[in-house]
Amino acid sequence: MADAQTAYELRLLFKYRGCPVCALAQRTATRYVDTLFYESVLDPGRRERIRASLGLCYEHAWLTIESKLSDALGLAIVYHDLAATLLARLPEKPDSGGRERKALVEALSETRLCPACETRRTVEERSIKVLGEALQKDDYLDDYRKSDGLCLPHLRLMIEETGNQKVLAAVINHQRQRLEGLKEELSEFIRKNDYRFQDEGMGAERDSYQRAAEQVTGKRRPASKADLFPEKGKRPGQE
Ligand SMILES: [Zn+2]
Ligand SMILES: [Zn+2]
């Protein structure tokens, strides 16, 4: 993805709930997984790549299965290959010696990162770099100010990578405002849980603790494919 395309896609995501960098990284990793199993059935290079990471990590394996990103046949073929790989590495007559065990643990460990995690990392790094440049333009910054801002891991990355003081100040100010707003909503949520105020009913603060968790740890994992590619006007994560 070229930088201009990344800047454009991030800008579209400013309208949606949660960190735009998380959203773009999740989308791209999902698109990648979408084709991975299909292509790995046909391409020995891809199969070798999947073997090196012993499949996908916990998060991405279950995302693929639960969100039905790949068809079951593609998954079955890949996991058949992995089952054969593991069988070849597990000894028929295990030796309990210390050195043998260490070598066995090594043989049963991945030598490369999950390919979806690798894709996500690339997108995160590019997004932070692109934001550092694009936010120097006033109209882009205006749109950014309408977003939920960055989650804490991506805010940290931004602080590490962005040398532009004006951009950094704008990003930090925006984050402060978002956190102030969230803190107020959380206070309201806590207050309304008091039996004396329970009749008031919950408003927008209803899910403030979930949005706060997203702010601190990163955007919620998409529950389905539709969550990643929402219909126009619909915000992902909105029920
Ligand atoms: Zn994020
Ligand atoms: Zn992964």
Q: How many domains does the chain have?
A: 1
Of the candidates 42, 123, 43, 32, the one whose C-alpha atom is nearest the C-alpha of residue 70 is 32
Q: Which amino acid is at 69?
A: L
Give the sign of the dihedral formed by CA 101, CA 118, CA 23, CA 130: positive
Report which bound ligand comes closest to the CA of 158.
1
Which domain covers residue 151, as residue numbers?
3-91+100-223
Averaged pLDDT score across all residues of the chain: 88
Q: What was the pLDDT predicted at 87?
A: 95
Q: Is residue 234 part of a domain?
A: no
Cα(224)–Cα(74) distance, integer angstroms:
19
| Residue-wise pLDDT tens digits, 157-190 | 999 999 999 999 999 999 999 999 999 999 999 9
Ligand 2 midpoint to CA 209 (Å): 26
Q: Is residue 46 part of a domain?
A: yes
Q: Is residue 67 part of a domain?
A: yes
Q: Is residue 235 part of a domain?
A: no
Ligand 1 midpoint to CA 21 (Å): 5
Of the candidates 136, 180, 129, 154, the one whose C-alpha atom is nearest the C-alpha of residue 1 is 129
Ligand 2 midpoint to CA 163 (Å): 30
Q: What was the pLDDT predicted at 51?
A: 93
Report which bound ligand comes closest to the CA of 19.
1
Q: Is residue 236 part of a domain?
A: no
| Residue-wise pLDDT tens digits, 120-129 | 999 999 999 9
The pTM assigned to this predicted structure is: 0.84
Q: From residue 233, how far is each of 46, 48, 209, 236, 238 by CA, in Å?
A: 37, 41, 24, 10, 11
Residues in Cβ contact with 214 at an 8 Å cutoff, skipping those fewer than 6 apart: 17, 18, 19, 22, 148, 151, 220
Ligand 2 midpoint to CA 97 (Å): 33
User: Residue 97 — very low, low, confident or very high, per pLDDT cuts 50/70/90?
Assistant: low
Q: What was the pLDDT predicted at 85?
A: 94
Q: Is residue 118 part of a domain?
A: yes
Say yes or no to pLDDT of 140 above 90: yes
Q: Is residue 228 part of a domain?
A: no
Cα(25)–Cα(124) distance, integer angstroms:
6
Say yes or no to pLDDT of 23 above 80: yes
Ligand 1 midpoint to CA 147 (Å): 12
Report which bound ligand comes closest to the CA of 214.
1
Q: What was the pLDDT predicted at 233?
A: 55
Say yes or no to pLDDT of 45 above 50: yes
| Residue-wise pLDDT tens digits, 190-211 | 988 877 877 778 888 889 999 9
Q: What was the pLDDT predicted at 137?
A: 97
Q: Is residue 195 part of a domain?
A: yes
Ligand 2 midpoint to CA 15 (Å): 26
| Residue-wise pLDDT tens digits, 105-125 | 999 999 999 999 999 999 999
The proportion of the chain whose per-residue pLDDT surpasses 70, expressed as a percent, equals 91
Greater pLDDT, 174 or 45: 174
Ligand 1 midpoint to CA 94 (Å): 44
Ligand 2 midpoint to CA 62 (Å): 10
